[in-house]
Chain A
Amino acid sequence: MKKSFLTIIISLSMVVLFTLSVFSAEFPGPDAANIDWNQANGQSIRVMACSRDAITYLKNIVPEFEKLTGIKVAIDDYPEAEFFRKIIIDLSSGNPVSDVFMLSHAYSTMYEAGGWLEPLEPYLENSSLTDKVWYDFEDYPAGSLSAVVINGKLYGIPIAPDTQIVFYRKDLFEEAGLLNPKNMDELYDAAVKLNNPPNHAGVVLRLARGAGTHWPWNGYIQNYGGSWLNTETKRPELDTPQVIAGTEMYLKLLKDAGPAGAVNYSWYEASSDFAQGKAAIFAGDANIFMSLFEDPSRSQVSGKVAYAVLPPAPDGNHAPAAGTAWHWGMSSASKSKEAGWLFIQWATSKDIALRLGVDTTEIMRNSIWQSETLKNKYPTVPDWIEASSATMNQFSGLYRFPRVKEFGPLADIVEALLQEMFLGQISVADGMAKAQAQTLEAMKME
Chain B
Amino acid sequence: MKHEGKGMIKKISQRRKIVYYLLLPSIITLIIFTLFPFFYNLWASVQNYDLIYPNQRHFIGINNFIKAITNEEFWSTLKTTLYFSGLGVILQLLIGLGVGLLFGREFKGKNILRTLLILPMVAMPVATAYIWRIMFSPSLGIINYILQKIGLQGSEWIAGYNSVIPSLVVVDTWQWSPFMILIISSGLMSLPKEPYEAAKIEGATGFQTLKNITLPLLKPILSIAFVFRLIDSFRTFDIIYSLTGGGPGHASETLNINIYLNAFRNLDIGYSGALVIIFLFIINIITMFVIRRTGFEESILK
Query: A: which residues have CB within 8 A of B?
Result: 85, 88, 92, 110, 113-114, 197-198, 201, 208-211, 259-264, 269, 273, 278, 405-406, 408-409, 412, 415-417, 419-420, 422-423, 425, 442
Contact = CB atoms under 8 A, between A and B. Distances in A.
Contacts of A423: 160-161, 248-249
B41 interface: no
A409 B265 CA distance: 6
B139 A209 contact: no
B270 interface: no
Contacts of B246: 209-210, 416
A208 B138 contact: no
B265 A263 contact: no
Interface of B: 51-54, 133, 136-141, 156-161, 244-250, 261, 264-267
A420 B253 CA distance: 13
- Return the 9 tightest CB-CB contacts between A and B, nearest first: A209-B247, A420-B249, A260-B138, A261-B138, A261-B159, A210-B245, A419-B248, A260-B139, A409-B266
A416 B248 CA distance: 7
Contacts of A408: 265-267
A253 B157 CA distance: 22
Nearest to B52: A405
Contacts of B52: 110, 113, 405-406
Nearest to A110: B52
A259 B247 contact: no
Contacts of B51: 88, 92, 114
B267 A209 contact: no
A261 B156 contact: yes
Contacts of A197: 139
Contacts of B159: 260-264
Nearest to B144: A260
Given A259-B139, A261-B137, A420-B249, 18 more contacts: A88-B267, A92-B54, A113-B52, A197-B139, A209-B245, A209-B247, A209-B248, A260-B138, A261-B138, A261-B141, A261-B156, A415-B247, A416-B249, A417-B249, A419-B248, A420-B250, A422-B248, A423-B161
A198 B145 CA distance: 11
A211 B137 CA distance: 17
Contacts of A261: 136-139, 141, 156-157, 159
A269 B53 CA distance: 36
Contacts of A406: 52
B89 to A, nearest CB: 26
Contacts, number: 88
Please report whether the interface of chain B is mostly helix, strand, loop or mixed according to DSSP: loop
A208 B247 contact: yes
Given A405-B52, A423-B161, A264 B267 contact: no
Contacts of B156: 260-261
Contacts of B160: 423
Contacts of A110: 52
B133 A264 contact: yes
Given A85-B264, A264-B244, A416 B137 contact: no
Nearest to A209: B247
Contacts of A113: 52
Contacts of A262: 159
A416 B250 CA distance: 6
A197 B264 CA distance: 39
A412 B133 CA distance: 21
11 contacts: A85-B264, A88-B51, A208-B245, A209-B248, A260-B156, A261-B157, A263-B247, A264-B247, A419-B248, A423-B248, A425-B161
Nearest to B154: A260
B240 to A, nearest CB: 12
Contacts of A259: 139
B53, B248, B267: most-surrounded residue (chain A CB, <10 A): B248
A274 B52 CA distance: 38
A102 B143 CA distance: 40
A209 B137 contact: no
Contacts of B264: 85, 88
A92 B160 CA distance: 38
A266 B31 CA distance: 41
Contacts of A422: 248
A209 B161 CA distance: 13
A209 B249 CA distance: 8
Contacts of B244: 209, 264
B45 to A, nearest CB: 18
Given A260-B138, A261-B137, A409-B265, A114 B54 contact: yes
A404 to B, nearest CB: 9
Contacts of B250: 416, 420
A80 B249 CA distance: 21
A144 to B, nearest CB: 26
A116 to B, nearest CB: 10
A405 B139 CA distance: 38
A88 B138 CA distance: 36
B139 A198 contact: yes
B166 to A, nearest CB: 16
B266 A419 contact: no
Nearest to A415: B247
Contacts of A208: 245, 247
Contacts of B54: 92, 114
B122 to A, nearest CB: 23
A282 to B, nearest CB: 15
A436 to B, nearest CB: 17
Contacts of B141: 261
A387 to B, nearest CB: 28
Contacts of A420: 161, 248-250
B74 to A, nearest CB: 14
Given A198-B139, A259-B139, A406-B52, A264 B266 contact: no
Contacts of B161: 420, 423, 425
